[in-house]
Structure 1
């Protein structure tokens, strides 16, 4: 469905539900991390790329201080009063919208204007492409449109992260929201999660980014995501006995870690080693990606996957099956996990002219092994959040 057809569909659905046409449109993209699993909340580096799968909100302002929200993707919806924002149990996806309104108010923005809103997303939910962050950022953009105020994109990302941490209850890092707000077309983005600086990293011609969705759903609020973060924090606390100035695993070099690895509990040591090594892989990728060295890319992605599987232990049977399918496919250059793991998507770099053959092979092999038909599709780097152009 092209953008015009999508807009036409949303207008018709909006008019049917709310009795009038929408007046305002916001959008925010999903993202895939090309390198840097679980480095964001360790104050490290991430190589991220916003993709041409996004979330749109069509809206019409209201003058009664209320927000009514519905979705073309998910059943249910709801209405809430901006003067009394509480979590919803019957339609939990709306908590991302409610949470953003709450976070904006917590930041001192009291002139929020409510709206009737209809959401449509082309980001698969629970896949690891940050559908929740895209909804949060698209919501933040919409509140700026209805309330006629403007946020710095980094501030917007931080408030959206606060919404997910403190209202929704997922202790995520800044990666997803920052990527959605700050992404750039035609480039990956190297993000420093400590000072929230970033710069574009060109992707060499001949490298095509392909998403391989296992369709094994994740639920981070109920997964082991929080446990991994706690283990990393414990590692920092124990390593501070030897290096008092460190504040995060980002501050620990591999030789420093190796010198005192035995002082850590085995599981904590495994988690820390992965993060420290993964952080270096991000910096290595920044040097390699613009030139497209196939051998170096393959080795780097393989090391990331091995660490995610064996040290951070965020693999799942569906991910193992997908990796097998990807690595045996024609045209594959490199492959690894995407997102937080525990299911969801994988990402591959595929050579020019090979995308269709790659996708057919991956789908056939994965389905034969799992009985699940995957979703395999190429993505391109897209611009960060904003308004939907007419």
Structure 2
């Protein structure tokens, strides 16, 4: 649906008056239902509006929010077509936006020390004559601009604005104030939340919207490509499809929300930040792209041996294929390949494309172990939704532990780190084939993606030693960030104390532990219809 969206709007001062009253408390409670969160969000909104007032004056504003997300199961497989099981967190990014009379965008942040004020001109975002989004994001102009502003938080606002420009919108500039409490680099999608919040708010003024939420997620995801990443749309879909108190099961190719069901009672989820940001350096990108190359090599070789397998999910979710048949096909894959062997096995154009995504220092290609992880994780992600619907927390915990073992790089015992390397050579894999033929569950076989860190593994092993913990695993893409723990209700304090004494204090890291409360997805925050602020009007 395109065209101007009619929204009742309040000035920043009117919003402040609303937040101070009972209607404001009810409004924020509708997003989460938790008293403490409602109060913290009310205060954060007041801080946001006061920042807007101080920087830009009293104007009619649109308020929009986008929460962080947590993928309960289905790591590293959205781009292979696997399911993900997402909840939105009660931590979010909020923006207050008002139009200007010129073509400049001015940004301010409540946390001005970490995120200083910034501004830019809309006319400098897209190279002259470019209208196709792929051409824009791959242009030398955008690459040079990103290189100049590496690490600048304003890049995400530029991305949202450039996306509207490519669609023939953005006839004017905007004043934007931002606040948020999603930890940066924690693997909880703070950057995607900022993009979604900005697109939600700007769409009110720019008259672009679609009722197709899947398309909305894809558009927000492609907008983020402007900053130089080329990720999937899973995080944006989770942020957009999220529902208070619920888990969203999301599928890909095509992107769709397959199911939304209530989060079960009886167990809680803790998200614990390691204090080390999920890395996005060149070295980290090499590792991530190296693993994706292993996937694509495995998929190409599987396609030659069996019909109907375009992506790993086609193998894992085929109801006519037994797990024994799956593992027998995986056994035929090479355990490890060199770059020269990859060039000899794949079409030259495909090999050149894959090998160009990462440095040679990333090492040889453990194709079989990585592909095994992908197939097993697809099985785990499908079963996880069934476990969560039934409240089968112990079974879900076993899936979490198997999943994390697939990303492990170490085990911790008696305070010492022991390097961890999974063996999927010919002899070991032959034994696995025999076990699966005899009834072993392939979904509980870890595989070896190896994108955890020593710190995350330490936290996981500390948590698993606590009575009442059912499972623990890394959160997000890895190489830093956070881990999550499934814990019986009543044992949360024990886990927190164990992590503080066993990890945070010895490592000199400030404890950062979040008790997950599934919250509502993104959207424009609407004032109540019966607001005492009688000056509410319709957006021009």
Coarse TM-score class (shorter-chain normalised) = over 0.9
Is 1:144 paired with 2:207? no
Matched, 1:191 2:254: no
Q: Distance in 2 between matches of 1:65 and 1:265?
A: 56
Query: Deviation string for 1:78-115 (max 9, x for gaps)?
Result: 22222331545346222122112222333x24245431
Q: Counterparts in 2 of 1:125-164, with a 5 A limit?
A: 125-152=184-211, 153-164=213-224
Secondary structure in structure 1 of the residue aligned to 2:277: coil
Between the aligned partners of 1:171 and 1:257, the Cα distance in structure 2 is 31
* Secondary structure at the counterpart of residue 373 of structure 1: coil
Q: Quick check: 1:208–1:352 contact (8 Å CA) kept in 2?
A: yes
- Which 5+ residue runs of structure 1 have no aligned equivalent? none
* Aligned match for 2:376, one of 255, 277, 284: 277
The C-alpha deviation readout for 1:187-214, integer Å capped at 9, x for no partner, is: 1111111222221133221121211111
Q: Which stretch of structure 1 is more off in the superposition, 275-284 or 218-227?
A: 218-227
- Is residue 375 from structure 1 mapped to residue 512 from structure 2 by the alignment? yes
Picking from 445, 449, 455, the partner of 1:318 is: 455
Specify the alignment match of 1:329 in structure 2: 466
1:387 to 511, 524, 528: 524
CA–CA distance in 2 between the matches of 1:17 and 1:134?
23
Deviation at residue 174 of structure 1 after TM alignment: 1.2
Q: Which residue of 2 aligns with 1:170?
A: 229
Q: Name 1:226's counterpart in structure 2.
A: 289
Work out the CA distance in 2 between the residues paired with 1:265 and 1:104: 46
The Cα offsets for residues 35-82 of structure 1, whole Å up to 9 and x where unpaired, read as 011111111111111111110001221121222122234323422222
3-state secondary structure, aligned to 2:383? helix
Separation (CA, whole Å) in 1 of partners of 2:330 and 2:78: 23
Residue equivalent to 1:46: 84
The change in CA–CA distance for 1:227 and 1:374 in structure 2 (over 3 A counts) is farther
CA drift at 1:17: 2.2
The equivalent of 1:207 in structure 2 is 267
Go from structure 1 to structure 2 and tell me whether the alpha carbon gap of 1:322 and 1:111 turns closer, same or farther (over 3 Å shift). Answer: same
Aligned to 2:310: 247
Question: Does 1:264 find its partner at 2:334?
Answer: yes
Cα displacement (A) at 1:234:
2.0
Indicate the residue corresponding to 1:217 in structure 2: 277
CA distance in 2, matches of 1:122, 1:368: 23
Match of 1:291 among 381, 390, 394: 390
Of residues 332-341 and 287-296 in structure 1, the stretch that sits farther from structure 2 once superposed is 287-296
CA distance in 2 between counterparts of 1:215 and 1:68 reads 31
More deviation, 4-13/29-38:
4-13
Unaligned regions of 5+ residues in structure 2, if any? 1-38, 126-141, 317-322, 337-365, 409-421, 423-447, 528-540
Q: Conserved in 2, the CA contact under 8 Å of 1:209 and 1:347?
A: yes
More displaced stretch, 301-310 vs 255-264 = 255-264
Task: Tell me if structure 2 keeps the 8 A contact 1:114–1:146.
Answer: no
SS for the counterpart of 2:230 is coil
The aligned counterpart of 1:301 is 400
Aligned equivalents of 1:243 and 1:374: distance in 2?
Answer: 49
Q: Give the whole-Å Cα distance in 2 for the aligned partners of 1:328 and 1:368.
A: 18
Q: Say yes or no: does 1:344 pair with 2:477.
A: no
SS, match of residue 151 in structure 1? coil
Q: Equivalent residue for 2:175? A: 116
Separation (CA, whole Å) in 1 of partners of 2:372 and 2:506: 32
CA pair 228-39 structure 1, distance change in 2 beyond 3 A: same
| Root-mean-square deviation (Å) | 2.0
Structure 2 distance, partners of 1:260, 1:273, is 7
